[in-house]
Structure 1
Amino acid sequence: MLFGVRNYANFRPLAACRGLPADASAAASARFAQLIEWCGEDALHGTTWITWAEVKAVDWDEPAEKPDKRLHEYHQTPNGLRMTGKCSWSPAFAEAVGLERGEDREWPEGSEWLVGDTLYRSVTIRRRNAVTETGEWQPVWKAMETLAAQHGDDNVRLVVWFDD
């Protein structure tokens, strides 16, 4: 959702493929160079960055461009359906709908299949569903917000890269 890497939910990425900033900190630049030396240039990808000003401007209600590639799984409970996860591959689902192993298919929004006691549903999620208010990104946002209070929203950025 943020950087366009492993974008199974099909969001328009906010800050994809910007590369390592020329003025990145010495510590970030050194770590990046060290990882390239250890792992090779092909081991790291998706290097990019985002400012606190950009994070603050996010429309968290914006929906993804298409339904999530992972079908959402639900199980019946005494209180109704409860989401239990997302699946990118389920042998039971594949057999029920005639998919071959590794076959990738997009399903229309709202499509549903009941397979045994599991309901599979095609869902388009919103940004707030991908990065929740109480989720793992909150300590990062808090640190950026604290730094921005001292240095300004445009002067605080998060630099990221990904490995395989």
Structure 2
Amino acid sequence: MAADRGIPSDASDELSARFAQLTEWYGEDGFHSATWITWAEVKAVDWDEPAAKPDSRLHEYRQTPSGLRMTGKSSWSAEFAEAVGLERGDVREWPEGAEWLIGDTLYRSVTIRRRDAVTETGEWRPVWEAMEELAEQHGDENVRLVVWFDD
């Protein structure tokens, strides 16, 4: 939806300078995938839309008296790797719904929805609240979030 737009051409001098500084310090590979999104676009997101492919992190579950409980998700588990014959660093994509019961842990390949990645009550909540407050003053199209990622 808003991937790989780069740093906005009209970004503030401070933001542009910070991005340039980080890129200089860490190189092109250190910081990547700069993009931005307006509050109007965030409001229009279909939060139930599934990802294009299953999550690269297998979801881990444990049996409890009330049923299976998710305990986490991991891109690497030594226990899982040994059980299925993966070497350290091997990356695999597993089909949706594939499961392995290893010991008392169930590993499952899951396709997440946007709302699973960016929960309403999670760490993004303060960002959405700040954007919403700014949009009330300046308009939905005039408030944007600029991000980039590191390795």
Task: Give per-residue Cα distances to partners, 1:44-65, cap 9 Å, x unaligned.
Answer: 2111111111100100000111
**Fraction of identical pairs, as percent:** 80
Task: Give the SS at the match of 2:134.
Answer: helix
With over 3 angstroms needed to count, the CA separation of the structure-2 counterparts of 1:89 and 1:40, relative to structure 1, is: closer
In the alignment, does 2:146 pair up with 1:159?
yes
Q: Which residue number in structure 1 is paired with residue 21 of structure 2?
A: 34
Instruction: Tell me the number of residue pairs that the alignment of Structure 1 and Structure 2 aligns.
Output: 151
Amino acid at match of 1:137: W
Cα distance in 2 for partners of 1:84, 1:125 equals: 16
- Quote how far apart the aligned CAs of 1:26 are: 2.4
- Quote how far apart the aligned CAs of 1:42 are: 4.2
Amino acid at match of 2:5: R
Amino acid at match of 1:83: M
Cα distance in 2 for partners of 1:111, 1:17 equals: 31
Amino acid at match of 1:108: P
Q: TM-score, normalised to structure 2's length?
A: 0.92
Q: Which residue number in structure 1 is paired with residue 96 of structure 2?
A: 109
Q: Which residue number in structure 2 is paired with residue 4 of structure 1?
A: none
Cα distance in 1 for partners of 2:119, 2:71 equals: 16
Q: Which residue number in structure 2 is paired with residue 97 of structure 1?
A: 84
Q: Which residue number in structure 2 is paired with residue 21 of structure 1?
A: 8
Task: Give the SS at the match of 1:60.
Answer: coil
Gapped regions of structure 2 (runs ≥ 5): none
In the alignment, does 2:128 pair up with 1:141?
yes
Task: Give per-residue Cα distances to partners, 1:85-133, cap 9 Å, x unaligned.
Answer: 1111112111212222222222121111110010001111111111111
With over 3 angstroms needed to count, the CA separation of the structure-2 counterparts of 1:36 and 1:96, relative to structure 1, is: closer
Gapped regions of structure 1 (runs ≥ 5): 1-13
Task: Give the SS at the match of 2:133.
Answer: helix
Cα distance in 2 for partners of 1:37, 1:104 equals: 30
Q: Which residue number in structure 2 is paired with residue 67 of structure 1?
A: 54
Cα distance in 1 for partners of 2:75, 2:29 equals: 25
Q: TM-score, normalised to structure 1's length?
A: 0.85
In the alignment, does 2:118 pair up with 1:131?
yes
